[in-house]
Amino acid sequence: MTVGFIGGKFLPLHLGHVYAIVQATSLVDELYVVLSHSEMRDRQLCQHSKMDYILPHIRLRWLSQLTKDMPHVKVISIKDDQGNEDYNWAEGARKIKKAIGKRIDYVFSSEYEYSDIFNELYPEAKHELIDPNRGHVNIAATAIRNEGVFHHWGYIPDFVKPYFVKKVVVVGTESCGKSTLTRNLAKVYNTSYVEEYGRIVCEELGGCEGIIVKEDYHKIAYGHKLEEIKAIERANRVVFIDTEAIVTQFYSNLYNNEHQTVLDEIASLQDYDLWLYLEPDVKWVDDGLRVHGEHEVRLQNNDALKTLLNNHKVDYKTLSGDYKERLLSAIGHIEELLKF
């Protein structure tokens, strides 16, 4: 039985790695994919780049997802505490040999420069180069880190992309254009979006005022989160989300005069990259579900929602003006977000 291994930092995992791993599987009976990681080294590599440090268990998860249907592939994690310039290759080889626990016949890589060190540390093994000139997949993790993930989006595996997707949430009170802006932004950026789940629940009930109960808000908050997960999995660089748990809390206060701890807890776990707040300065539209169209009431509700957001220390960008002005302003904020 032939045994080989291919190692890397996979910071991040890209299609060049995928190609090399798949090729290596065809050359041995048993392949080990070795995640070599050091927090010091990996943070050094990401410092001053356009990509943040990625925790090793996330990278290990990616490798597990990639190889889950490859029964003769095993993924192992090798940790050290060294920096990028002082990596101890001999100590690393000792740890890898111990973890594999059997004779190694092949060491796979895509780098010519590794031949001497691999021949020294694995004298019984053949160093097999896979696509060293990047003829099949012309990408390197260094380029992704330095130029940004979105610049090389086509080289990121589909199951890795959700980790990098930017989440933009659109908030505001009744009839301020949230749904319209969310849909339009999704079209502009050719991506997925999340509808306001509270509207779906209210449509199921035939309305909200006077009939919505405490448990409905839990259904709205949890249902909305599940829809977010689905949308992120389909997203193209960015996903747009119509409302979230703080807005749900606002409606619980408005319709039921009840502030719910569970909604605060959900809100505290939210992690959005950009908040867009719509002022209620467009014409109020009666769609059969809305009931707070008086000007003074709209202003009071607007202040109440802003108070909730401020209590949660949310840093939001305010959009006002007509629909064209709001769209252009939103696009400006999103373009800034996608630079990194």
List, as residue ranges, the binding site for NAD(+): 14, 41, 109-111
Distance between CA atoms of 64 and 60, rounded to whole angstroms? Answer: 6
CB atoms within 10 A of CB 247: 26
* Residues of each annotated binding site: 14, 41, 109-111
CA neighbor of 111 nearest in space, from 74, 76, 146, 142: 142
